[in-house]
Amino acid sequence: MGNFRTMLLPLLFVLLCAVAGGRGEAVAPGGWTPIPNIQAPHVTEIANFALVEYDKRNGANLKLEKVIRGETQVVAGTNYRLVLATKEGSSSATKNYEAVVWEKPWEHFKNLTSFEAVQG
């Protein structure tokens, strides 16, 4: 009996560590992770989706200059929070916006859930 306990406790400890360790590798729920490769085609696709959607909803004509930075969050799909440098129509002035796009790739679903002017 005593022997069983001394075996079981370390085993439980190892199991708990494995579970905790596995979680540690994944993204913390609600946490935002910087996108390492901001030039990835899929990031550009998300950015263009955000601008086309914003233009459509607001009768604007914002064009993507470049993605400045971005983060993702895992939420039944992925939230992309991107800072975009844009130009309005033929104007040469650059204006930055922070766009949040929610994507569920397996449903080919994307939605622009937030779009705000930002500094820098």
Minimum distance between the CB of residue 106 and ligand NAG, rounded to whole angstroms? Answer: 16
Residue nearest to ligand NAG (CB): 111
Cα–chain-centroid distance for residue 42?
12
Tell me if 112 sits within 8 A of 99, measured CB to CB: yes
Q: Compute the radius of gyration of the chain from its Cα atoms.
A: 22
Find the binder of ligand NAG among 14, 113, 115, 119 (CB under 6 A).
113
Minimum distance between the CB of residue 109 and ligand NAG, rounded to whole angstroms? Answer: 8
Minimum distance between the CB of residue 47 and ligand NAG, rounded to whole angstroms? Answer: 17
What residue ranges bind ligand NAG (CB under 6 A)? 111, 113
